[in-house]
Amino acid sequence: MPKSVWDTIYKDYEKDGKAWASLKDGIHPLFISFLKQSKFGRKSVFDLGCGNGKYLEFLQKVGFEVSGIDSSPTAIRMAQKSLGKNVKLKIADMYLCEIPEGIDLIISIAAIQHHTKPAIAKLVSRVYKSLSLEGNFFITFPRLSMASRWNTFKDAKQIAPGTFVPIHGPEKGLVHSFYEKEELAKLFSNFENVKIIKDDMGRWVVQGKK
């Protein structure tokens, strides 16, 4: 995934405070409900696409051992400042990097969709492998219906079914994959207790356990 796209977004955010896309969102209310309803072992979490670390900061405050990656050096620097120097954060491509094994919770909020569907499927398989026994996950995906509603994608180039590349806007040139509910059910068929919930932000929230 080209790091320059979101690194530029984070640099602009750091400079003038203008929040693009998920940067302007708070902690997802469904995530708060998910945490209350789930059980964890040693409360370790790994965030795929941690951004400026707001989810990790939230989890750190409730006793989680937090770690994560992001392709943006600027985002990682911002997250490190919020979370402390001892927290394990890394500049990395989520589709290529190793995920630590034995993690109790793996999350990815408004991040995993930035590639082709085959690459995302491989990443989901690695999420399964890396989770601890009965480990939990919480991942969001954009709904396919949003591809014709979100301004950035109304004239985007379609490169595969459900996969588009914006030709303008801050995410110009960055691949995005959108999903139907049935696709996600198949994608997460190896997991247990899977719930696929439509939120009011144009996303599917997928949660469950190994």
Is residue 162 included in any domain, yes or no? no
Is residue 66 included in any domain, yes or no? yes
pTM of the model: 0.92
Q: How many domains does one find in the chain? A: 1
Is residue 128 included in any domain, yes or no? yes
**Separation of alpha carbons 171 and 197, rounded Å:** 26
Torsion of CA 26, 30, 31, 33, to 10 degrees: 120
pLDDT 10s digit of each residue in the chain, 210 long? 455 777 887 777 667 766 545 555 689 999 999 999 999 988 999 999 999 999 999 999 999 999 999 999 999 999 999 999 889 999 999 999 999 999 999 999 999 999 999 999 999 999 999 999 989 999 999 999 999 888 888 899 999 999 999 998 778 888 999 999 999 999 999 999 999 999 998 999 999 999
Record the tokens describing residue 71, joined without a space. 């392709």
Instruction: Please report, for the domain that includes residue 52, its CATH number.
Output: 3.40.50.150
Pairing of strands 65-70, 44-48: parallel
Q: Domain range holding 205?
A: 3-14+39-144+174-209
Is residue 156 included in any domain, yes or no? no
